[in-house]
Amino acid sequence: MRHIISVLVENEFGVLARVSGLFSCRGFNIESLCVAETMDPSVSRITLVTRGDDRVITQVEKQLNKLINVIRVRDVNGPAHVERELVLIKVAIDADKNSAVSAAAEACQGRIIDRAPTAWVIEMTGAEGQIAALIERLQPIGILEIARTGRVAMSRGAAVLAVDTDEQNEGHAA
């Protein structure tokens, strides 16, 4: 089963290596990884996607919590979350392809952000399936390059993943 795990960590050298090392030592693949500062520049949020049964993921969460510099861990799974990914797609272009590329981007709610004479760059933010649909539409036209971010995810509603929340206070903003 696919799991999205969010980890708040101290924004310090080597923390990402320790977190990813925990996964590799146990033979888990990280399908997607995204790291960025939070509102507090001393804290970063790592969002990673992996696969495993609930028992194994619970063990991984416990081991993550034992790592130095890890502040909080949460498996953000189930219907009560939103997730998005950003993709940039460079497509070969000529006069015959202009309308097809524009139509594909528009149909998938992407937007053309660069129009060079021989290649256009399309940007899209969406769920994994939406991005796959855009890629599928553009493949016959001629994709030159794809750059994707890792997925980011967040619980719906008032529950937050923050430094100063505790298990009893997860439903209130921190």
Domain coordinates in residue numbering, the chain: 2-77, 82-148
Q: Does position 171 have pLDDT exceeding 80, yes or no?
A: no
Distances (CA, A) of 76 to 72, 129, 153: 12, 18, 7
CATH architecture of 82-148: 2-Layer Sandwich (3.30)
Pairwise CA distance, residues 23 & 29, whole Å: 7
Q: Does position 32 have pLDDT exceeding 50, yes or no?
A: yes
Candidate CATH numbers 3.30.1510.10, 3.30.70.260, 3.40.50.150, 1.10.1370.40; the one for domain 2-77: 3.30.70.260
Mean pLDDT along residues 138-150: 95
Pairwise CA distance, residues 87 & 149, whole Å: 6
For residues 23 and 50, is the Cβ–Cβ distance under 8 A? yes
* Residue 146: strand pairing partners: 89
Tokens in use for 148? Answer: 């994707």
In this predicted structure, which of 111-115, 127-131, 162-166 has the lowest mean pLDDT? 162-166
Q: Helix (H, G, I), strand (E, B), or coil: what is residue 135?
A: helix
Q: Which range is most confident: 62-66, 86-90, 159-163, 170-174?
A: 86-90
Task: Judge whether 2-77 and 82-148 match in fold.
Answer: yes
